Amino acid sequence: MIAIADSGSTKTDWVVLDSELNEVFRTNTIGFNPYFVKPEDITAELLKNEDLAPIASEFKKVFFYGAGTSSDSLKEIVKEGLQDFFTNADFVVDHDLLAACYATYMGNPAMVCILGTGSNSCYFDGKNLREETKSLAYILGDEGSGNDLGKRVLRGFFTKKMPPHLAKAFDDYYKLSVEELNKNVYQNKFANTYLASFNKFVVEHKDDPYIIKIIYDAMSSFIEYQILPYEEARHSELNFIGSIAHIYEDIIRSVAAEYHLTVGHIIRKPIDNLVSYHINYLLNN
């Protein structure tokens, strides 16, 4: 058995193949970002999965790509948690940016962008991935991401910058006090996904001029901080993956056009393309 996993901070998509490289099933777990989970957390969550747990010892290869696995020490956190569950498997553990590159590559070098719970970018020439700027995660970075949009909405509400009709809708739905907010942000190891959960409000009101400006400003920040430092961005397509990119595609394309940049394709979930890449890889190696 072979497992292929694409993991964000919120959710991990798993696809299981048999020895003939036929798909057996798909399943999901929480996201395994090593900034927020320990090896024992990963093992414990996998043991809860009713699809994977009964056959864990049957897996021979596991390809895992995840948010946060950007250094050897962070990869080791994830690998340790996986090894304690998939006891007979060989592992490839790497960054979700690499998975995004594999999923979006169509034969030409391009900028590859992730816009989901968090955000990231790189340049991929078909073989090598290069990061001109480093992700600073949800406190200092993640421009254009779900948690960035959540922070912008929360800031607008609590600083009374939000128009009254939207503020009432927000208050009626969430009934959120600043004390509860601070507890959920500053005493919560999954604060990034908590902040991103407020993107639901953004989606529900995405046609309101105030919310449109929030989205527009977030995407402008993403381009300014994570795209413009790359010289290649001026003459290469920008390819995107992630739910946020999918939801706000029209605004992303409009903002990119103002910077004289070209957006290529936008893929909501990379797992299908990632599976195809690995099937081809396994057939040829």
225-246 tens-digit pLDDT:
999 999 999 999 999 999 999 9
First to last CA, the chain: 17
Same domain, 264 and 137: yes
Residue 259 included in any domain: yes
| Count of structural domains, the chain | 2
pLDDT at position 71 is: 87
Sorted by sequence, the CB contacts under 8 Å of residue 224 that are 6+ apart come out as: 143
Model pLDDT, residue 255? 97
Structural domain including 170 reads 108-268
147 and 207 co-located in one domain: yes
284 part of a folded domain:
no
Sheet holding 2-7, edge to edge: 23-30, 11-17, 2-7, 61-66, 90-95
Indicate which CATH number applies to the domain containing 173: 3.30.420.40
In the prediction, which pLDDT does 213 show? 97
Looking at the structure, do residues 47 and 151 belong to the same domain, yes or no?
no
Q: In this structure, are 17 and 91 located in the same domain?
A: yes
Q: Are residues 6 and 129 in the same domain?
A: no
Same domain, 36 and 164: no
Assigned token pair, 164: 């009254």
Q: What is the pLDDT of residue 126?
A: 87
Is the pLDDT higher at 250 or at 188?
A: 250
Please give the backbone phi and psi of residue 83, each rounded to the nearest 5 degrees, phi first: -60, -35
> Would the pLDDT of 285 be above 80?
no
Same domain flag for 115 and 249: yes
47 and 158 inside one domain: no
In a domain, 275, yes or no: no
Enter the pTM of the model.
Answer: 0.83
Same domain, 117 and 23: no
* 83 and 125 housed in the same domain: no
What pLDDT is attached to residue 135?
A: 78
Q: What is the pLDDT of residue 68?
A: 85
Both 151 and 30 in one domain: the answer is no
In a domain, 285, yes or no: no
- pLDDT-derived band at 67 (thresholds 50, 70, 90) equals confident
- Residue 278 has which token pair? 């690995």
Angle between helices 209-222 and 249-258 (to 10 degrees): 60
